[in-house]
């Protein structure tokens, strides 16, 4: 499928008066393949997985395990190392609870970065509070990028575990994950990669990256909500005790004790989101038919157009000017609060994210109370960007000076 044709695969964009959607980093619109798969799967009847031996139940169990294989192929891993979760947040919490917390003693160090989404920060704060471990922050350079050249020095004081994002949800910065993993491993630290944003923009190969864990959510990759993935190296998953316990994660249960399944099933207590998983596998197969290099090139072209357009507007200031970025441009408008700008954009039917972007410590470093974030998806095009830039131009024209305050609201309608 050609880049310009893909938008028609998303029924949302055929709705009359649909907004210009520039918030794909929060969640993506859903392609026809997902909607059709969902409705077809529901119509053909459901049966819970890994439980019963009748035909429909076996078909669902097979389809569910096939979906696990499809996700494993997508990440370059074995199916046995893929755990279904409810999303990135749950995947990270699982690793924090089941792998990291049991190995920590007071004074041990856990490293994250200031680029993390709260989902990859708060669980580690909590683990540190429970164990007496210390939370430390990977070095960033003046452009807020992870400074790979300083990692060996950083790791010379031992760190037990590193949890780092592959792509910042607030700024779009792409981290050099293979270099971070290699440096951490040279110093015996294991690494979890938060791929919630990265997964929709560039291919991932967990074996090439050599990361120990990786987490992402289906809903940011054109899939359903309520479904996520945790990849873990098989020997690490095997060494972990489960966090949630209950039905289906056991091989036998006695009155006072139980034996658990092997990974990954031991981490999937209760009924998994099996309909979503099977429908998501169809999305991944569909994505596999697209020329991802062409889409990546298109995304970079749009990002350049967006950056240049923003730079040309008086009173608009982009946060990141150099370095590798994907699909996200964040900015502020002089003398305007981000949420006021977002409200005005909403009046023009333009949807983007404004606020602290689940990255409050990063915003403190940037000395910004709030940002506006444009984020692109497969379906984003030049019309979307022009609509935003034209509206911001109008806003800028109506902005008098840095001295202007927001007690003089201007309607763009």
Residues forming the site for ligand PMP (CB under 6 A): 87-89, 117, 119-120, 165, 169, 194, 196-197, 217, 358
Q: How far is the CB of 25 from ligand PMP (least distance, A)?
A: 6
For ligand PMP, give the closer residue by CB, 172 or 309: 172
Half-sphere exposure (Cβ direction) of 7: Cα atoms closer than 13 Å:
14
Q: Which among 193, 199, 71 is positioned nearest to 138, based on CA atoms?
A: 193
Q: Where are the alpha helices (DSSP H) in 156-266?
A: 177-186, 206-209, 234-239
Q: Which among 236, 393, 220, 227 is positioned nearest to 315, based on CA atoms?
A: 393
**Given the structure tokens 């497969």, which residue do they identify?**
378
For ligand PMP, give the closer residue by CB, 9 or 194: 194
**Which residues does residue 215 pair with via DSSP β-bridges, in sequence order?**
194, 230
Cβ neighbours for 112, distance < 8 A, ≥ 6 positions apart: 120, 121, 124, 135, 137, 138, 162, 163, 164
Q: How far is the CB of 93 from ligand PMP (least distance, A)?
A: 9
Strand 82-85 relative to strand 228-232, pairing: antiparallel
Q: How far is the CB of 303 from ligand PMP (least distance, A)?
A: 17
Candidate list 43, 98, 128, 358, residue with the active-site label: 358
For ligand PMP, give the closer residue by CB, 87 or 264: 87
For ligand PMP, give the closer residue by CB, 48 or 202: 202
Q: Which among 168, 86, 111 is positioned nearest to 359, based on CA atoms?
A: 168
Helix (H, G, I), strand (E, B), or coil: what is residue 193?
strand
Q: What are phi and psi for residue 86, nearest 5 degrees? A: -90, -5
Q: How far is the CB of 410 from ligand PMP (least distance, A)?
A: 31
Q: Which among 279, 245, 236, 219 is positioned nearest to 89, based on CA atoms?
A: 219
**Given the structure tokens 């990974």, which residue do they identify?**
263
For ligand PMP, give the closer residue by CB, 136 or 358: 358
Is 358 among the residues known to form the active site? Answer: yes
For ligand PMP, give the closer residue by CB, 31 or 223: 223
For ligand PMP, give the closer residue by CB, 35 or 358: 358
Q: How far is the CB of 201 from ligand PMP (least distance, A)?
A: 12
CB of 10 within 8 A of CB of 29? Answer: yes
CB of 133 within 8 A of CB of 142? Answer: no
Ramachandran region, residue 362 (left: φ > 0; alpha: ψ -120 to 50; beta: rest): alpha
Cβ-in-10-Å burial (0-12, 13-18, 19+) of 404 comes to middle
Q: How far is the CB of 413 from ligand PMP (least distance, A)?
A: 30
Q: How far is the CB of 383 from ligand PMP (least distance, A)?
A: 26
Distance CA 200, CA 8 (A): 19
Catalytic positions, please? Answer: 358
């Amino acid at each position: 499928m050609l880049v310009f044709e893909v938008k028609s695969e998303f029924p949302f964009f055929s709705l009359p008066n649909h907004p210009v959607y520039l918030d794909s980093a929060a969640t993506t619109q859903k392609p026809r393949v997902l909607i059709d798969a969902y409705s077809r799967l529901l119509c053909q009847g459901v049966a819970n997985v890994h439980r019963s031996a009748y035909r429909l139940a076996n078909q669902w169990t097979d389809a569910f395990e096939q979906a696990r294989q499809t996700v494993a192929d997508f990440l370059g891993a074995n199916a046995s190392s893929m755990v279904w979760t409810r999303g990135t947040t749950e995947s990270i919490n699982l690793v924090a609870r089941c792998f990291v917390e049991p190995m920590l003693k007071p004074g041990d160090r856990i490293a994250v970065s200031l680029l993390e989404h709260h989902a990859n920060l708060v669980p580690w704060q909590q683990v540190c509070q429970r164990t007496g471990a210390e939370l430390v922050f990977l070095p960033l350079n003046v452009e807020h990028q992870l400074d790979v050249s300083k990692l060996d020095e950083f790791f010379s004081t031992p760190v037990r575990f590193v949890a780092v994002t592959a792509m910042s949800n607030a700024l779009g910065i792409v981290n050099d994950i293979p270099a971070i993993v290699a440096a951490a491993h040279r110093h015996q630290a294991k690494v979890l990669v938060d791929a919630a944003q990265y997964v929709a923009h560039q291919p991932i190969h967990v074996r090439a990256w050599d990361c120990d864990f990786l987490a992402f959510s289906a809903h940011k990759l054109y899939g359903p909500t309520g479904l996520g993935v945790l990849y873990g190296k098989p020997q690490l998953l095997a060494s972990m005790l489960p966090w949630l316990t209950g039905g289906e994660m056991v091989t036998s249960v006695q009155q006072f004790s139980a034996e658990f399944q092997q990974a990954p099933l031991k981490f999937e207590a209760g009924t998994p989101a099996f309909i979503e998983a099977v429908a998501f596998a169809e999305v991944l197969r569909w994505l596999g038919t697209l020329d991802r290099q062409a889409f990546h090139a298109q995304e970079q072209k749009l990002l350049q157009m967006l950056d240049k357009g923003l730079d040309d507007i008086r009173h608009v200031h982009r946060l990141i000017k150099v370095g590798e970025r994907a699909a996200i441009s964040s900015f502020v408008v002089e003398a305007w609060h981000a949420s006021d700008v977002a409200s005005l954009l909403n009046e023009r039917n333009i949807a983007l994210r404004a606020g602290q972007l689940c990255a409050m410590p990063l915003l403190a470093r940037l000395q910004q109370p709030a940002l506006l974030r444009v984020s692109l998806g497969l379906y984003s095009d030049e019309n979307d960007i022009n609509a935003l830039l034209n509206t911001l131009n109008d806003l800028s024209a109506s902005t008098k000076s840095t001295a202007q305050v927001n007690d003089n609201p201007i309607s763009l309608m």
